[in-house]
């Protein structure tokens, strides 16, 4: 039996998601803001698009925009299986704070 694509996503932990985000963000994401993916008990991944170069880490702090999302949905988002707009419309995550920052997310993921 061949493993499904979702199997790879389901095995991504927070560190793997953080590394994937770091690779996508690069030195200059164009985000020009801070954004937090809050996975509840699984932890957080924070993009600092103001830092030069941009950084991605797992230190929980106040950000311009916070996205409440499950680790599974974050893994799908960073792997490209979940489109940010579709995910939002389907209620896969909730945005708090500056919605304009969340809209720029499509440039990153």
Determine the Cα–Cα distance for residues 66 and 60; give it in Å rounded to an integer. Answer: 11
Position 11 scores a pLDDT of 66
Q: Note the pTM of the prediction, 2 decimals.
A: 0.88
Share of the chain above pLDDT 90, in %: 82
Domains of the chain in sequence order: 5-104 (3.30.1050.10)
* Residue scoring higher pLDDT (108 or 22): 22
- Mean of pLDDT values over 52-77: 97
With the C-alpha atoms ordered 12, 4, 24, 107, is the resulting torsion angle positive or negative? negative
Average pLDDT, the chain: 90
In sequence order, what are the beta bridge partners of 87?
none
- Mean of pLDDT values over 86-90: 94
């Amino acid at each position: 039996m061949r493993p499904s694509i979702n199997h790879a996503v389901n095995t991504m932990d927070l560190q793997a998601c953080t590394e994937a985000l770091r690779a996508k963000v690069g030195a200059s994401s164009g985000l020009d803001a801070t954004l937090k993916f809050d996975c509840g008990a699984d932890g957080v991944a924070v993009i600092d698009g103001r830092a030069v170069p941009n950084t991605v880490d797992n230190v929980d702090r106040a950000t311009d925009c916070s996205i409440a999302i499950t680790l599974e949905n974050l893994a799908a988002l960073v792997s490209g299986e979940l489109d940010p707009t579709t995910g939002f419309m389907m209620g896969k995550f909730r945005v708090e704070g500056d919605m304009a920052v969340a809209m720029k997310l499509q440039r990153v993921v």
